[in-house]
Amino acid sequence: MNYKNNDIEAFYSPNLYGNMKLASEKEADSIKILVADDHELMRESVQELLSLYDMSCILACDGQEALDIMAEQDIDILLLDLIMPNVDGFQVMKEVNRNYPDIDIIVTSGEATFKNATLAMRHGVKDFLHKPYIPSELIKVLNNLIEKRELKHQLDAMSNYIQTSEKHYRFFVNNSPDIIYMLDQQGQFVFVNERASELLGYTQKEFTGHHYSEFIHKEDLEKAKYAFNTLSGNPDTAQKVEFRMLPKYPGADALCFESRSIIINLDSSELPGSEGSFYGIYGVARDVTEQKRSEEMIYFQLYHDALTELPNRILFKDRINFAISQANRNNRKLAVMFLDMDRFKIVNDSLGHLAGDKLLQEIARRLKQCTRDSDTLARIGGDEFNLMLADISSREDVLSLVEKISTALKQPFLIDGNEVYVTFSIGTAIYPEDGSTSETLIKHADMAMSNIKGKSKNGHEFFADHMKDLFQHNLSIENGIRKGLQENQFEVYFQPQYNVKTETISGVEALIRWNHPEKGLVSPSDFIPLAEETGLINTIGEWMIEASCKILHDWIAINPAFGNLKLAVNISASQIETDNFCLFIIETLEKYKISAKQLELEITENVLVQDMELVVSKLNRLTRHGIQIAVDDFGIGYSSLSYLQTLPLSNLKIDRSFIATIQSRGDKNSIVSAIVAMAKELGLHIVAEGVETQVQMDYIKKIGCPTVQGFWYGHPMPVEELKLIALEQFHTAQTA
């Protein structure tokens, strides 16, 4: 286009705009302006003008060059002439709208017709300047446009910030491990996060608009309503409430009443501008189901037996104490029963501990079926159970239950393919006549059970006052044993064993005697059973082995001939079960320098119904060391004879009850003869116990039994007495 010189000069003159400033100097510095005009002088004049305001611009001589520049560089503002050769301003505007929507266009044209202006505005042109225009107009238009761009950038940045913040908010809210929710004034959900759907199975739409009570377990509704009403009436408060919410399982239309435990941290909220009126409640609900289950499991384990899941001793006492308070209020009675299984150890050891556990579980199940809901059955350890009958009127109620239990236990238990028959010894104490506390009632029921167990087992007995005397007697003996061991009140007696052919002492059996300071010598039959029951038999057994070995050591020091004497010591089943059994015996022999072949350990046949594998393993270890093993009281115990080839035995001792049947010459005992013949066949030594008469001695010689033990040759005697007899025998043998 053609411009007059004065027009250009006027455009270029700084006097007209020297005092003007752009809206944002910082924005002006960074703005990129493209001037597209086919008039060279006009392009350069605009460039020089803008440079005065520290604005840079790029020049294009026509529309095509402008498009090429925009394809390579980021342009912010385009000063566009409409009438240009090749590609005019309208074509450029179309390309800008299509490909560069962020570029703002200012049209400068000498053809400022209404039509051109309208077309330009339709293409999104920000302003239209008619050539020639004065510089102040251009600066003003640029200033306004830069301000608008700056404002738009700020708004875009704020919008992006808000969008990002909202994304973060939604991310944190929806990925929270807790339920985040809000209730309106009526208690209806207005918002829940996605975690609520994950935990409970409802969609967010199924929550929204529904009252919270629809999702709360019915047993916890009152608690939830109280919390909501408290917050509604006092919005400044905050509460922590625990209640259960009902989940909806996939595919289920109705609510499932399996609850989930939820702790709700409640708070109230007032919206700005609400003039203090209550708006709603928001909160965080944390799923503590697993925590509650763990707490319940810990509680259950604390108060229940792990094997049978019955109440344990602690919970049983609590139940009794509660029942006592109820009985006092209602003037009623209650019964406490002590149930102890008969011969459980035999069953447990013969079938194995796993089978024993299964048996206890089945017994617990049957006993439970015999009781009422108000009764409490507890396992207090091993094969012992306690049973409390609440609210009874007389002893007949107890007897009726005992009969019911007896009937239930008559049927055998099938355990691992084996039929097992079970009986119980049962003792009962009645409140209030037999005791006023849980401890007293349990103790008296135990006394009654012990009383029936000591008689015949498999029965029932009520507590009576005279049982206290028996209990005190047993307690006195138990305490006396403990004191006796500490004060060396026990003594070793020896009963000699004689060689039948030479009629000389070949060995001694060590027997314990209790030299009580007040009662004198106490028979083993008066304290050994109680020692076995209380576990003191292990301490007594170790004392006997060490004391006997020390005596033999002292004798050998006096006369080496004692080194040929065999020492027999009884050991109990519980001794064999101890971990250090073998080591103790071997170390004791080494301590007293006793030859292992001199020691013979006597076991009774009832030992063989314990853990057979354990018994064989330990006895094999001892025999490898040189120690000999004998079976005492052979023939009256364990029915199977297979152990004779299984165990590392060296000796059988025929029980005195078989020898006692021989009273006159001509009497025979085929069992004794068979035992002697069998022992010889198996290469075992044999001792006949209880030989008390010449007739019995003659019979023993006749059947070829090599060794005897009994009153015919000598009673159990103090060690000093037997030592003198043995020394005299040694002297006679040396002088002969």
**CATH number, domain at 180?**
3.30.450.20
Residue 128: beta bridge partners?
107
Domain stops at, among 294, 320, 339: 294
* pLDDT score for 555: 96
Same domain, 149 and 271: no
144-147 long-range contacts, CB within 8 A, separation 24+: 144/23, 145/77, 145/104, 145/106, 146/22, 146/23, 146/24, 146/27, 146/28, 146/31, 146/77, 147/23, 147/24
* pLDDT score for 121: 77
* pLDDT score for 386: 96
Same domain, 577 and 631: yes
The verdict on residue 441 lying in a domain is yes
Domain stops at, among 439, 464, 489: 464
The verdict on residue 518 lying in a domain is yes
314 neighbors 303 (Cβ within 8 angstroms): yes
User: Does the pLDDT at position 143 exceed 90?
Assistant: no
The mean pLDDT value for 134-155 works out to: 85
Q: pLDDT category, 721, cuts 50, 70, 90?
A: very high
592 neighbors 553 (Cβ within 8 angstroms): yes
CATH code for the domain in which residue 107 is found: 3.40.50.2300
Same domain, 482 and 629: yes
Catalogue the E-assigned strands of 61-136: 77-80, 104-109, 127-130
The mean pLDDT value for 374-382 works out to: 93
Highest mean pLDDT: which range of 1-15, 168-182, 467-481, 583-597:
583-597
- DSSP code, position 250: T
Closest CA to 628 of 670, 597, 672, 668: 597
Q: pLDDT category, 437, cuts 50, 70, 90?
A: very high
pTM: predicted TM-score of the whole model, two decimal places: 0.51
Q: Distances in Å between the alpha carbon of 640 and those of 185, 594, 646?
A: 84, 34, 11
The verdict on residue 264 lying in a domain is yes
Which helix H or strand E contains 29, and what residues bound it?
A: helix 25-30
The mean pLDDT value for 180-192 works out to: 86
The verdict on residue 23 lying in a domain is yes
User: Does the pLDDT at position 21 exceed 70?
Assistant: no
Same domain, 316 and 444: yes
The verdict on residue 167 lying in a domain is no
Q: pLDDT category, 416, cuts 50, 70, 90?
A: confident
The verdict on residue 306 lying in a domain is no
User: Does the pLDDT at position 14 exceed 70?
Assistant: no
User: Does the pLDDT at position 424 exceed 50?
Assistant: yes
Same domain, 450 and 482: no
The larger pLDDT score, comparing residue 298 to residue 545, is at 545
* pLDDT score for 493: 95
Same domain, 636 and 504: yes
Count: domains in the chain? 4
Give, in degrees to the nearest 5, the angle at Cα 316 between 315 and 319.
85
Q: pLDDT category, 581, cuts 50, 70, 90?
A: very high
User: Does the pLDDT at position 255 exceed 60?
Assistant: no
The mean pLDDT value for 350-354 works out to: 81
Same domain, 664 and 631: yes
Average pLDDT, the chain: 83
* pLDDT score for 377: 96
CATH code for the domain in which residue 410 is found: 3.30.70.270
Digit-coded pLDDT (tens) for 624-639: 999 999 988 787 765 5
Q: pLDDT category, 27, cuts 50, 70, 90?
A: low
Domain stops at, among 415, 436, 464: 464
Same domain, 214 and 264: yes
Query: Cα(107)–Cα(4) distance, rounded to whole angstroms?
Result: 20
Using a 10 angstrom Cβ sphere, with 0-12 exposed, 13-18 middle and 19 or more buried, the burial of residue 592 is: middle
**What percentage of the chain carries pLDDT values higher than 70?**
88
86-90 long-range contacts, CB within 8 A, separation 24+: 86/62, 87/62, 87/63, 88/63, 89/36, 89/63, 89/120, 90/119, 90/123
In sequence order, which residues have a C-beta less than 8 Å from that of residue 356 and are 6 or more positions away? 344, 347, 348
User: Does the pLDDT at position 5 exceed 50?
Assistant: no
User: Does the pLDDT at position 260 exceed 60?
Assistant: no
Query: In the sheet that 104-109 helps form, which strands lie side by side, from edge to edge?
Result: 57-60, 33-36, 77-80, 104-109, 127-130
The mean pLDDT value for 297-315 works out to: 90
Same domain, 329 and 450: yes
Digit-coded pLDDT (tens) for 117-132: 777 777 778 888 877 7
The verdict on residue 637 lying in a domain is yes
Q: Distances in Å between the alpha carbon of 164 and those of 159, 211, 286?
A: 8, 33, 27
Query: Cα(91)–Cα(127) distance, rounded to whole angstroms?
Result: 17
Same domain, 443 and 485: no
Domain range for 181: 176-294
Q: pLDDT category, 596, cuts 50, 70, 90?
A: very high
Same domain, 564 and 624: yes
Is the C-alpha dihedral spanning 703, 708, 713, 716 positive or negative? negative
* pLDDT score for 529: 82
* pLDDT score for 258: 35
36 neighbors 65 (Cβ within 8 angstroms): yes
User: Does the pLDDT at position 398 exceed 80?
Assistant: yes
The verdict on residue 381 lying in a domain is yes
Same domain, 582 and 727: yes
